Structure 1
Amino acid sequence: MSSFPPDPEIQPRPVLSERFLLLLLATVQFTHIMDFMVMMPLGPQLMRIFKIEPHQFSLLVASYTFSAGIAGLIGAFWVDRFDRKQAMLFCYAGFILGTLACALAPSYHALLAARVLSGAFGGVSGAIVLTVVGDVVPLERRAGAMGIVMASFAFAAVAGVPVGLWCAAKWSWHAPFIIIVGVGTLLWITCLMIFPSLRGHLNAGGHVRGEALARLRELVTNANTLTALLFMTLLILGHFMIIPFLSPSLVSNVGLQESDLPSIYLVGGFASLCTSPVVGRLADKHGRLLMFSVTIAGALVPIYFITNQGITPMFWVLVLSALFFIFAGGRFVPGQAIITSAVPARLRGSFMSLNSSVRDMVAGLASLLGGHIIAKDAITGKILHFPTLGWIAIGASLLSVFVASRVKPVS
C-alpha cells in the first residue's frame, strides 16, 4: 500500500469570514439533510396513502442513498478538476430540481424516480460542502468546524422536520418538499452572489497529475484511505439499520400518534443542536478519537431501549429520543473530522465524493436489509424484529471505535 506525500495547506483563505462561510455551508447542508430526513417521519403517512409495505417504504429511502452513492462515485472522477464554487452551484441546482420533482410526484413510482434524481445531485453537493470545510479550516480547528456544519442535522430535526410534518398534516405530504425547493432556491442565489471561488486545490496540480483513474487508483491503493472508508461503513451501518424505521415503530409499537412525531424530532433535534458544537470543541481539545469513543458509548443505551420498547409514556420516549440524537448523531462530528483528515488536500474532493458514495451505498443497503428483516404484523399492525436491527447497530458501532483508531491524520 502506498503512502501519501506531504501536502501543505494550499487552499487560500476565503473572502468571507470563516464563521460566516461555515454558517452558509451549514444552511446548504440543512436543505440536503431535511430533504433526506423528512422522508423517514413521513413513513407512516406514505405507507397509509400509497398502501405500501415496510420493504417498499425502505426502497424510497434506499433509492435516494443508492443514487447518491453512484453519483458520488462518478463525482470522484471530476470534482477536483473544478472550482469548488462552480461544482457546488451545478450540483445544488440539480438537487433543487430533483426535490421539485418530489414535490410534484403524483404516485409512489413517480416519487421513487424523483428520489433517485434528488439523491444523485444532493449526494455530490453534500460531499462538496464537507470538502470545502476540509480545504479552508486548519486541522487543529476542523472538528469544531465540522460541529458547526453537522449542527445542520440537528437544526433540520428541531426546525425543518417538525415544520415539514406539520405542513404535511395540514395540507399534504408534498408540502415539505415545496418548502425545501423555496429555501434551496434562495440559498442557490446567495451562493452565486457571495460564495468565494476556491481554486487552491487546482493550483496544487492535482487536476493535472491526478487524472480521474490515477486519482482513484491513488486513493484505493492507500491503506489509510481504505481504513477510513471501512470506518465510514461501520459508522453508517450502526445508524441506518434503525433510523428509517424509527417513526413507524414509534407509531405501531410504542403507541404514538402521527401527530406526536414532530415533538420527537423537536426535542431530539434541539438537544443535538445544543450539543453538536460542544462535541466538536471537546474533540479539538481532548482528541477526536476520545470524543468519538465517548459518543459511541453514550449511543448504545438509547439504541437498545429504542429498538426494544413497547407501549411507553411520552415523557420517556422524549428522553430516549434526546439521548439518541445527542450521542448517535453526535458521533458523526468527531467521525467526520477523522475522515476528512485521512487524505491530503489535493485529493480531498475526490476522496469525499468516494467517501460519500460508500456512505450512501451502505445507508441504502442498511435500509433495504432492515426492510427485509422487519415485518408488519397483519393483525396488530406492530413492527416485528426491530430488536434484531438494534443488535446489529450496536455491534457495528462498537467495531467502528477500533477501526477509527487505525485512521491516521494526514492533513
Structure 2
Amino acid sequence: MNKEKLLLWTLAAINFIHIVDFMILMPLGPQLMRVFEISPREFGLLVSSYTFSAGASSFFGAFFLDRFDRKRILLWVYIGFSIATLGCALSPNYHILLFARVISGFFGGLTSALILAIIGDVIPDSRRGRAMGLVMAAFSLASVLGVPLGLFLASLSDWHTPFYILTGLSVVSLGMIIKFIPNITDHLNKEIEKPRPVEVVKRVTGNSNQMRAIALSVMMMFGQFMIIPFLSPYNVANVGFTEMQLTYIYIAGGAFTIFTSPWVGRLSDKYGKLKVFTIFMALNVIPIGIITHLGITPVPLVLIITTMFFVTSNGRYVPAAAIITGTARPENRGSFLSFNSAIQQLAAGLASLIAGLIIGESATGQLTNFNLVGYLAIFFSLLCIPLARRVKVVS
C-alpha cells in the first residue's frame, strides 16, 4: 500500500471516530430522553451544544491553522478530543453530559477542517473527488458498524459504553497519525508573513466566491440537521420502532453508502462535481418528505426510505466537499476551511435547536410538528442547487 493510501485510510479512521462520536448521541436520543427525563427541546440542546462549541473552536482555529505543520496541529486536537470523549463516558447526569459535549465539540470542531485541508494540500484536484469519497466512506462505516454496534452495546449495558469504546479507538488513531501522516509544511512557504486574525477574517469574508461556498454549507446543514437529530426519537415514538430496531436503520443505510460513497467520488471526477451534486440533492428531498410524514409503518418500508435518505445525503456531500475545498488556494486553505467548518457547525446546531423548538410532544408521548420541520428542510435543500452553480473551483 503506497503512502498516499495509508494517509487517506488514516484520515478515514480519524473521520470515522469523529463522526461516530457526534452521531451516536442522536440514535441514543430515545434512551437519553427516557433515562434523564428530558423533553425534545432539551435533547435538541444536547445535540446543538456540541455543534455550537465545534463552530466556536473552528472559528478560533482559523487564526492559527495555516501557521503550523498540519500533522502537529492534528495531533494536539486529537489528544484533546480523546480526553473529552472519556469525559462524556464518565458523565453521571444530563447537565454534566451537556458540559462534556461542549468540551468534546471544542476539540472535535477542528477535525473536519484539518482533514479537508490535508486532502487539499496532498491530493491534486484530478484525484480529489476520489480521495474525498474514500475518506467520507467513514460516514458509511460509522453508520453500518459504529452506530449500530454502539446502540447494541448501549442496549445491553447503558449509554456510557459507546463513549468508552470511542476513547480507546481515539488512542489507536493517535498512533496512526504519528506513523502514517507526514509533516505537511508546503503551505508555510507560500506566504512569508502570516496575516493577523482581522486580516484572516477580511480575506475570507472579502472573497465572494468563498462566501458563496460558506452559504452553500449553511443551506446544506439546515436541510439535514433539522431532520437527523430527531430521526430516531420520531421512529420510536411515532413509527413503532423499538430502540433495538433503530440499529437496522443505520446498518441498512450504512451498508449501501459504504459502497456508493467511493462510487459518487468517481462519478464526480468523471462527469463533474456540480452535475453529480445537483442530481443527489434533488433526489434527497424525496425521502425527507416521506420520513417526516410517517405514522405506524412496517419496518422494511421504513428501511427503504431511510436508506434512500442516507445514500442521497452522502451522495450530495461528497461532490459538495470537493467543490467547497477547491475554492481556496493552499496558502489560505486552512483558514477558509476552518471558517467554513465553524459556520457549518453553528448552522447544524441552530438547525437542531430550531427543530427542537418546533417539535412538540403529545400526551401519549408522540412527537408533533415533524412534518413542518420536513417542509423547511426541503426548502433549504432545494436552495442549494442554484447556489452551488455560482461557486467556482480555483485550486
TM above 0.5, one fold?
Answer: yes
Query: For the structure 1 residues 280 and 194, does the alpha-carbon distance in structure 2 shift closer, same or farther, using more than 3 Å as the test?
Result: closer
- Match 1:173 to one of 143, 159, 183: 159
> 93, 116, 120: which one pairs with 1:134?
120
One of 95, 105, 109 as aligned partner of 1:109: 95
- The one-character-per-residue Cα deviations of 1:183-223 (angstroms, maximum 9, x if unpaired) are 010111221233200000001126x2433322221111110
Amino acid in structure 1 at the alignment position of 2:381: S
Deviations 1:56-86 (A, max 9, x none): 0011100000000000000000111010000
Q: How far did 1:323 drift? A: 0.4
Tell me the distance in 2 between the aligned counterparts of 1:42 and 1:95: 20
Per the alignment, residue 196 of structure 2 pairs with: 211
Contact in 1 for aligned 2:3/2:180 (Cα 8 Å): no
> Aligned residue for 1:264?
249
8 Å CA contact 1:227, 1:403 repeated in 2: yes
Which residue number corresponds to residue 68 of structure 1?
54
Q: Quick one: which amino acid aligns to residue 280 of structure 1?
A: G
Deviations 1:297-317 (A, max 9, x none): 211111110011111101101
Deviations 1:87-122 (A, max 9, x none): 000001111111000000001000000000110111
Q: Which runs of 5+ in 2 are unaligned?
A: none
Q: Which amino acid aligns with 1:95?
A: F
Partner of residue 231, structure 2 = 246
Name the SS for the 1:406 alignment partner: coil
**Separation of aligned partners in 1, 2:42 and 2:2:** 45
2:376 to 392, 399, 409: 392
In 2, Cα distance between equivalents of 1:123 and 1:387: 30
Output the CA distance in 1 between the equivalents of 2:354 and 2:25. 18
Task: Give the letter aligned to residue 22 of structure 2.
Answer: F
1:282 and 2:267 matched: yes
Task: Say whether 1:85 aligns with 2:86.
Answer: no
Match of 1:371? 356
Contact map agreement 2:281 2:313 (CA 8 A) in 1: yes
2: CA distance, partners of 1:137 / 1:192: 19
Distance in 1, Cα, partners of 2:119 & 2:383: 27
* Greater displacement, 84-93 / 144-153: 144-153
Alpha-carbon contact 1:16-1:196 (below 8 Å) kept: no
User: Structure 1 runs of 4+ off > 4 angstroms?
Assistant: none
1:320 is aligned, of 295, 299, 305, to 305
1:148 Cα deviation after fit: 0.8
Distance of aligned partners of 1:33 and 1:111 in 2 relative to their CA distance in 1, 3 Å threshold: same
Q: Is the 8 Å Cα contact of residues 143 and 254 (structure 2) preserved in structure 1?
A: yes
1:125 aligns with 2:111: yes
CA RMSD for the aligned pairs?
Answer: 1.1
Residue type matched to 1:396 in 2? F
> Whole-Å Cα distance in 2 between the matches of residues 167 and 353 of structure 1?
34
Q: Is the 8 A contact 2:10 2:176 kept in 1?
A: no
Instruction: Say if 2:59 and 2:338, in contact at 8 Å, map to a contact too.
Output: yes
**For the residues of structure 2 that align with 1:256 and 1:114, how far apart are their CA atoms?**
29
CA deviation digits over 1:123-151, x for unaligned, max 9?
A: 11221011101111111211111111111
Aligned mate of 1:234, from 192, 202, 219: 219
Shift of 1:237: 0.6
1:76 counterpart letter in structure 2? A
For 1:39, which of 16, 22, 25 is the aligned residue? 25
Instruction: Give TM-score scaled by structure 1 length.
Output: 0.95
Q: Runs of 5+ in structure 1 lacking a partner?
A: 1-14
Asked whether 1:381 is paired with 2:365, we answer yes
Residues 390 and 374 from structure 1, CA distance in 2 versus in 1: closer, same or farther, beyond 3 angstroms? same
Query: 1:16: how far off?
Result: 5.8
Aligned length: 395
The answer for the alignment partner of 1:402 in structure 2 is 386
What amino acid maps onto 1:193 in structure 2?
A: K
- Matched-pair contact (CA < 8 Å) for 2:67–2:194: no
**Structure-2 separation of matches of 1:61 and 1:396:** 20
Q: Name the SS for the 2:292 alignment partner.
A: helix
Q: In 2, distance between residues paired with 1:17 and 1:259?
A: 40
How big is the shift at 1:399? 0.5
Structure 1 Cα separation of the partners of residues 129 and 341 of structure 2: 18
Is the CA contact 2:7–2:180 (under 8 Å) kept in the aligned structure 1? no
Secondary structure, aligned partner of 1:253: helix
> Which residue type is aligned with residue 390 of structure 1?
G
For 1:150-191, what per-residue CA distance to the aligned partner results, in whole angstroms no more than 9, with x for missing partners?
111110000000110011011110000011000010111221
How far residue 274 of structure 1 moved from its aligned partner, in angstroms, is 1.0
* 1:20 CA displacement: 1.8
* 28-37 vs 143-152, which moves further: 143-152
Match of 1:182 among 163, 168, 173: 168
- Identical aligned residues as a percent: 47
